[in-house]
Amino acid sequence: MLNPPMQHCRNFLATALAWASLCLLTPVAALATTSHAFTMTAMGDGPYTGRSYLGSFSYDDTSVVGSGEEILSLNFGALQVSFDFEGQAFDAAHDVNFDSYPQLTLVDGSPVFLDYLLVRGVNGVSFGVPDVMQVSVQGPLVALAGAPGFSIQGSVALVPEPATTVLLALGLLTLSWRRLGKAGR
């Protein structure tokens, strides 16, 4: 017969070995990730109008009920977004309201609306082209006919031109000069 400390050690090792074998033999539940590609077409006026940009989004399908309206985000549904604009890659962490956004709306389990906004200087966003202030990928997702993925309309907001600022300053100086001239008479 083993002395009590040795018996305790033997029981501990047997229990640890049983738990270890149970952990190794039990399959781990994996996330059921659903991924979709999208093409964003820039709308509005300006040099980017009509250009198309590629992106994708993915989410944990196990968090989707599949009926009614559901809104997925990073915190609920593990939503991830990647987007390429003028050769530069962006992800969910670049969204202007990262933590709450981007968001994906599902209706009856199908993606219908994506809300993703990039703004120069916020969350490390730098577009690499000097005239772009923000890129908005916000709108209804339209399933592509005969192809996997979605299309979405977006917008590209431009930085105000420096010439506009200079003209405004010249106009204000002229008005001030005229007022001073009339006051001196």
- List pLDDT tens digits, range 70-107: 999 999 889 999 999 999 999 999 999 998 999 999 99
Q: What pLDDT does residue 69 have? A: 96
The H or E element containing residue 60 is strand 52-60
Q: For residues 77 and 62, what is the distance between their CA atoms, to the nearest angstrom? A: 8
CA pair distance 155, 112, nearest whole angstrom:
18
Question: In Å, how far from its chain's centre is CA 7?
Answer: 57
User: Residue 6: its pLDDT value, please?
Assistant: 61
pLDDT at 172: 66
Q: What is the mean pLDDT of residues 37-50?
A: 90
At residue 121, does pLDDT exceed 90?
A: yes
**How many whole angstroms from its chain centre is CA 38?**
13
Identity at 11, one-letter amino acid code: N
Give the per-residue pLDDT at 18.
Answer: 54
Q: Provide the residue ranges of all domains of the chain, joining segments of one domain with +.
A: 33-165
pLDDT band (50, 70, 90) for residue 174? confident
Mean pLDDT score of the chain: 82
Cβ distance 95 to 114 under 8 Å? no
Q: Which helix (H) or strand (E) holds 140?
A: strand 132-140
pLDDT at res. 148: 80
